[in-house]
Amino acid sequence: MFFDEVIGQTRAKRILERLLISGRLPHALLLHGPEGIGKKAMAIRIAMAVNCLTSEVDPCGACNACRKILALGHPDLTVLYPRPATAKPEEEADLMRAMAENPYRVSQPARNLTIPMPKKRAQELRRRAALRPFEAKRKVILIFDVDYMPDTVNALLKTLEEPPNEMLFVLTTSRPGSVLPTILSRCQPLGLGRLSAEDIEQVLLGQGEAGVERARLAAKLADGNLTRAYEMLDSGDLEQGRDAAFEFLRISLEGTSVQALEWAESCVKNKKNRSPEQFMKWMLLWIRDAFLQLQGIPDGATNFDRTTDVVWLAGMVDDRTVEHVLSETEVALERIARNVNLQLVLLHLMSVLSKNR
């Protein structure tokens, strides 16, 4: 079936197939799960499934309706997504084209973005919802990363609660806990899971994104997030990001306080770490590999090509250190989200590690 274009997600596909065959697809679906796993791709293909001209379950991908929806250009399809308030029309058009070309490759939105929803626009959506579809079987509204939706959407919520029979909402989020309760209560949730490293590796190889070794490494380091795998290969972070994280751990565990201060200053000044959140994830992967080494199961290491470094790190920590670092890293991520000075956050973590030598 054409849902095979959505990578993995066997359980979700089976549920959707049953709902489509039985005609019991709810008027509003909320696809939730980690970042980079195909929620956008799934949402687009659900819109195709309910409007395909040749099938009511298995979208063909070739008919006029399927092709227009796949290109995000169908007159009865509305797509809402987070973006800066200052985004220019040409920038929005570029993003739409990128999502249509490969929704897995579009990065998750950064902080301080929102889904623009002024009162007039919400009212216009509600007015259009009351009209019959122009050419589709069902109108579809896709709202990507709905947790960025502002709380001033009463007009839209009314439509979500009592939509016309010929309308379908498909929402996505990586943070269901941040979605407005008034939205959650009006949707049927459907969870999607992380992609397997094997699936990601096959995608990267099949698309010619990398050679065998780099594709395997990116797949393991991506932690089930295909979007992140693309980003690492495109930016060079596959090598630079984890090198910086290991250097952070090395200096914390065997360096002096002066070296720690110099490293933190250099990290911020030279922007070695463009994404503080991702830097923390790199560090946690190194710590996880050390823990697996301590438990005698090194074959599960993510950094499989850096065995010497993993063995060294395992010799510098113990189970108590691992637990403490994990806890402190969660605190650090919260502080970064609150825009606490990155250098101070890094120095604090270094201090935590140095005390556990």
Percent of the chain with pLDDT over 90: 22
> What are the residues whose beta carbons fall under 8 Å from the beta carbon of 126, sequence distance 6 or more?
155, 156, 158, 159
Q: Quickly count: other Cβ atoms within 10 Å of residue 351's Cβ.
A: 13
Amino acid 334: pLDDT:
76
Amino acid 341: pLDDT:
72
* Lowest-pLDDT choice from 20-29, 135-144, 155-164, 206-215: 155-164
Stretch(es) of the chain classified as CATH 1.20.272: 236-354
Amino acid 5: pLDDT:
81
Q: Which fold has domain 236-354?
A: Zinc Finger, Delta Prime; domain 3 (1.20.272)
Question: What does the pLDDT average to over 306-332?
Answer: 82
Amino acid 273: pLDDT:
45
Question: What does the pLDDT average to over 124-134?
Answer: 75
CB-neighbour burial class of residue 164 (10 A; exposed 0-12, middle 13-18, buried 19+):
middle
The CATH classification number of 2-193 equals 3.40.50.300
pLDDT in tens, 266-286: 766 655 445 677 777 788 888
Q: How confident is the model at residue 149 (pLDDT cuts 50, 70, 90)?
A: confident
Amino acid 110: pLDDT:
57
In the chain the beta strands, taken as DSSP E runs, fall at: 28-32, 77-80, 139-143, 167-173, 188-191
Question: What does the pLDDT average to over 204-226?
Answer: 86
Measured between alpha carbons, how far is residue 11 from residues 6, 8, 42, 145 in Å?
12, 9, 13, 22
Integer Cα distance of 289 and 275 in angstroms: 21
Amino acid 94: pLDDT:
85
Residue by residue, DSSP assigns 52-105 as -SS-SSS--S-SHHHHHHHTT--TTEEEE--B-TT--HHHHHHHHHHHHH-TTT
Stretch(es) of the chain classified as CATH 3.40.50.300: 2-193
Integer Cα distance of 143 and 47 in angstroms: 12
Whole-model pTM: value is 0.79
Q: Quickly count: other Cβ atoms within 10 Å of residue 25's Cβ.
A: 19
Q: What is the mean pLDDT of the chain?
A: 82
| Residue 237 scores a pLDDT above 90 | no
| Residue 206 scores a pLDDT above 70 | yes
